[in-house]
Amino acid sequence: MPPPPLHSPSSKATEQNSRIIWAPSIPSIDWSELLQTISLHGILVQASGLRECKAYTFVFDSDSKPFSGSQSIIFVVGYADGVKYAFRLPYHLRKSKLRDRLLSNELEQWEAFVQSRIPLVPRVVGYSLSIDNPIGFPFIAYEWVEGKPLSWNDYEPQNTVQREKIIKSLALFTINTACRLQKPGETTTEVYVTQAIDRKIKRVLKGQLRTAKLVDCLRQRSLIRKYMIPELDSSPWVMVHGDLSGPNIITDTEYNISGIIDFGFAEYVPLQFAAVFPRILDHESYQDQDDIDIAPELSDDPESSLVWRSKNSETKRRDRQIFLETVKGLCDTHGEICRSFYRVLNSKEEIRRYWRFVAISNQKLHQVMVKVNWLLHDAEWVDENLSNEWKLFQLANSSVVSDSTSDLSGFS
């Protein structure tokens, strides 16, 4: 797997009328600062303690050009017998408390995948959750996955057999993960979503979130029961990888998946919100300078929905259908979790549910949803209920409301 450029251009999302130009931001690396922060020799010292093989060195020139992602950098050490270990350091997360908490969570979830014997997951061979180690920085070391990151778009891979192979493997990985890693819900699904929106409202009231308005958050809160599936309200919470995108899917030359990496976004979520397409098949777009059109045809057709045209091509629809049919075919062997998963993905409201749920935590998507009025055909019903929604929020969060200096007169 060849490393990406050390210095990746930073980019951001901007809004232009009904368009959003969206691209991921990968921080560049100041090499002199890096060497003052971590010890390259310390990585080799750690590597020496992980195996009895004493002949080892950096490979892929990773000592001078480490792999770089949005949060971490990766160094690779190779041993004389051909074994390779990757050392993943959350270098781009500079706030130590946040960094240590996220790394600890990633390690916990990663090991849960390994212990449950989920295929394609590399084994963790060592770690440190503090700076008290020879490297001088927290890290996770794991078995290197041979291959290259998946390159995926409407035109690559062109071979339909290869595309289907990838999609079917991801469907099996997703269902295996959900079926083998589940637990009783910490709350009902409705409470889970309500609390997530309430946390956003609290930030708005405290002046900590400038990209959202109180009235829009209350509209969002009032919509919960519109896209909830009541029968699944008390279903188990299941594990999701959270980022099945190209860089985290490693393939061989025949497009067999040789490994899934990066568990920084893995978490347990309510079943009905775990049922989403992998990132390479979802409705969002994260390609550099990819124009994303917000569909204007929000007509009276109940099936009308928001689409980002760049990800709703005929090829994408066909790919999603293959994923969906693969999940359906697994239902007999994987039981009720799989059947519920299929039911959610096969719903006519799948796209609307996806947008409304993602907009809870994604600020840009929140702004898009506001712009298209939350994909509503009966917006008057929502606005009539805003006063009641505000009262419900007050009852659940009285201390935050009493401390707020926001103008709340419109909802009293």
Residues 133 and 231 grouped into a single domain: no
Q: Which residues pair with 294 in a beta bridge?
A: 308
> What DSSP string runs through 16-48?
ETTEEEE--------HHHHHHHS-HHHHHHHHH
Report the C-alpha gap between 215 and 201 in whole angstroms.
10
Residue 321 located in a structural domain: yes
pLDDT at 350: 87
CATH code of the domain containing 322: 3.90.1200
State the total domains in the chain.
2
- 93-to-97, 99, 337 alpha-carbon distances in Å: 10, 5, 35
Does the residue 355 lie in any domain?
A: yes
Q: Are 241 and 263 in contact (CB under 8 A)?
A: yes
Which of 120, 144, 168 is the C-terminal boundary of a domain? 144
Q: Tell me: do 134 and 164 sit in the same domain.
A: no
Find residue 308's DSSP bridge partners.
Answer: 294
Residue 382 pLDDT? 60
Q: Which of 92, 120, 144 is the last residue of a domain?
A: 144
Parts of the chain with a pLDDT under 50: 1-25, 286-310, 405, 409, 412
Same domain, 215 and 241: yes
Does one domain contain both 316 and 353?
A: yes
pLDDT of residue 379: 56
Residues 108 and 196 occupy one common structural domain: no
CATH number at residue 55: 3.30.200.20
Q: Note whether 86 and 170 are same-domain residues.
A: no
Predicted pLDDT of residue 289: 33
- Say yes or no: 172 and 121 in one domain: no
Residue 281 resides in a domain: yes
Of 273, 194, 290, the closest CA to residue 235 belongs to: 273
* pLDDT recorded at residue 299: 36
Write out the residue range of the structural domain in which residue 284 sits.
160-379
In-domain check, residue 406: no
pLDDT of residue 329: 98
